[in-house]
Structure 1
Amino acid sequence: MASNDGDIITDWLVQNEQVFREPADFLAFNSYLISEFGVAQATEEKALIIRYALLRWLEFHKQGFVCIEMEDILDPGTMMRELYHQIDGPTWDKEALIHVLSDLSFTSGFESFELEDGRLYMKRHLSFENEIVKWLKNVDYSLDSFLPNRGISELIWNEYTEWVAQEFSDLDTPKKRVLAHLFSMQFFIVTGGPGTGKTFTFERILKSYQRWHPELKIQLAAPTGKAAKRMNESIDSSLLDVYGEAKTIHRMLGARHDGRFSKGVKNRLISDVVIIDEASMIDIDLFIQVVRALK
């Protein structure tokens, strides 16, 4: 890729392709930004600041972050530190950076960006994040919320927790705690490092649902076909006969060729429970579709 004469950023990107996992994406995004500013204006100070900030945003975006803090733009890390110094980044301050980035709009169809509380978002991601936060705040975390009209009496609750302790005596305390919360929360996340037994715990979750509320419709899902296959392999076939095999999230939501989904606000999933493995692999663009499709 030929650089523009005197363009510090393009020259640096071309000379340092090896530091990026997907250098073509950074080069293409940089070319797009140059076309937006115009070749002559792209090397002016304000344009250099914006281009650097958005390339830094792209670096974070590729790591799964929804936004980037102003402090992270001003602290270039190891990958872009040399470029940051070449364009006099250390002379910037947070307020000046916010001022420069406060009005980013593009003419050729690329999505606009927006600042919120010192964080730079792609505008649609900020909207999705706010929608998810609102949904989480509306989730009822009271004891009987998960099974409306099927109130869990204290006697039955005690019986259930005793059953968990006896039936799954091989589980450690954190995993038993997960099972204890099955009927007391509408939404929860099971976290843990690789090999700690998150997927293994799913089978125990399904056994608990089958024993105490066999009428529930349960959908198993994962972000990729490989993850769905691994999920199916970790669950007893007799349980899969009852609840069905795990699907990819795209298949669960009815992905269409135009990029849209058949499931959503107007056509929700019929499942009472949705269990998703490897949820950390889900980006916000897909997770918002899951949220909208839930009952």
Structure 2
Amino acid sequence: MDTLLLQSFIDSALAEDMAFTDLTAQATISQTQQGKATIIAKADGVLSGCAIAQQVFNTMDTSIHQAWHKTDQDQVQAGDIICQLEGNMRMLLSAERTALNFMQHLSGIATATALFIDVLKGTNCDIVDTRKTTPGLRLLEKKAVVDGGGRNHRMDLASGMLIKENHIEAAGSITDAVAACQKLSPNTWIEVECETLDEVVEAVHVCPDIILLDNMDIATVEEARKLVPSSILLEASGNITLTNARNYAQTGINRIAVGAITHSAPSLDLSMRVSRLES
């Protein structure tokens, strides 16, 4: 990620928390008190956001010493030490919540993604994300998906053309919608969302780059797989969970899009404990 953009995320988060005006820390901790801190995993999962947390502490105080034992993409178990820090105790505590907020949220996404990846082991099906992300945090959340072993779909509305039911309604048909997209931007990839097998047949005739099977049951996906040539990437989405994802993958589709890995992933439980250093 661009360094300036990453710094802007961090500056905004620290400003939101008024981290440089931490009244509790100012009241209870002397200005010169030194301390050490340990960030620990309290649950099993996959890490993301470690690099951001490191920069949070650097932004608060460049003299904070950081020893990271784990990093992005690493698997952790409850009790694992992720990082040990040493420096001004006020600065450590004032940065704590912002650093952990990033790490817990993004590690939750990486962990949710990794669970799907584990379910699909041995298949040729990928897990991809969607645009169902937190406004302003998309780049971070999509990186977390990659940290968990998934792949990114469209980063934004200018990265590709995804023709959904509303576009089809507005254009008049799948055929007309694909033709319009090809005319506007011939070199941009096109994906067509299909809700029925008849729509799949029509989409195949106009040969988009990707066909998305939306909210189809496994039996219907199996039928669609027979209709779509291997030259067109086949994707499924909608009501696909850890329980049924493998069954969908075994139909021969190329990938599964899961919005829940970003919009509904629970945070990974992490904690930071500090102790005083005697001068």
TM-score, L = length of structure 1 = 0.33
Structure with more of its chain in strand, by fraction? 2
Structure with more of its chain in helix, by fraction? 1
Structure with the bigger RCO (C-alpha within 8 Å, sep 6+) is: 2
The structure whose Rg is larger is 1
TM-score, L = length of structure 2 = 0.34
